[in-house]
């Protein structure tokens, strides 16, 4: 089995990893690097709980071979969270009761981050559209949508 060394930027730090052929970014993060904020939900690209940002764009880490991110910039929830404290998006999720069981939350936060980076003042429809690939079976989505609206307000300084 031809394992390969892959170099990429993870949460702002250049890292070098040795992976077996076709190892996914999800497996690397969770099983090799111990970064478990990226969840393993359906492993089918259907639930969004494993969403990470590749060069700022959301992707399903369960479908993404590590070798494909050679030289790219990958961000997970660990990279978003300041020490100490919380990112604004995490704060508003907490304050708006947008978290229940929490399993979808890392994916939801990562998509929200990408959305607000691409579009600092999203409409409600644009928020819903961005969240389409992320399933939440607890909240009914409304608190999540409101949290993102609140995050947009705070990040735009009003």
Residues making contact with another protein (CB under 8 A)? 1-2, 4, 20-22, 24, 43-46, 48, 51, 54, 57-60, 62-65, 67-68, 70, 111, 114, 129-134
Tokens of 85: 């404290």
- Considering the complex, state which of residue 3 and residue 94 has its C-beta at the smaller distance from another protein: 3
Distance, in Å, from the CA atom of 110 to the CA atom of 105, rounded to the nearest integer, reads 8
DSSP 45-83: SSS-TTEEEETTEEEEGGG-BGGGGTT-EEE-HHHHS-S
SS3 98: coil
- Closest distance between another protein and the C-beta of residue 158, in Å? 26
- Closest distance between another protein and the C-beta of residue 1, in Å? 5
- Closest distance between another protein and the C-beta of residue 157, in Å? 26
- Closest distance between another protein and the C-beta of residue 137, in Å? 15
- Considering the complex, state which of residue 60 and residue 88 has its C-beta at the smaller distance from another protein: 60
- Considering the complex, state which of residue 98 and residue 114 has its C-beta at the smaller distance from another protein: 114
- Considering the complex, state which of residue 5 and residue 94 has its C-beta at the smaller distance from another protein: 5
Contact 77, 109 (CB under 8 A): yes
Measured from the Cβ of residue 144, the count of other Cβ atoms closer than 10 Å reads: 28
């Amino acid at each position: 089995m031809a394992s390969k060394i892959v170099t990429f930027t993870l949460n702002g730090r250049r890292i070098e990893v040795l992976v077996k052929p076709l190892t996914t970014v999800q497996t690397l993060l969770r099983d090799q690097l111990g970064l478990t904020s990226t969840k393993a939900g359906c492993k089918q690209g259907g639930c969004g709980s494993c969403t990470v940002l590749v060069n700022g764009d959301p992707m399903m880490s369960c479908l993404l071979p590590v070798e494909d991110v050679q030289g790219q910039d990958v961000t997970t929830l660990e990279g978003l969270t300041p020490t100490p404290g919380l990112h604004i998006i995490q704060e508003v999720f907490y304050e708006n009761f947008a978290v229940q069981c929490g399993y979808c939350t890392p994916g939801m936060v990562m998509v929200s981050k990408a959305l607000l980076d691409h579009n600092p003042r999203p409409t409600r429809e644009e928020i819903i559209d961005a969240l389409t690939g992320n399933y939440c079976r607890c909240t009914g989505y409304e608190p999540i949508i409101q949290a993102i609206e609140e995050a947009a307000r705070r990040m735009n300084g009003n």
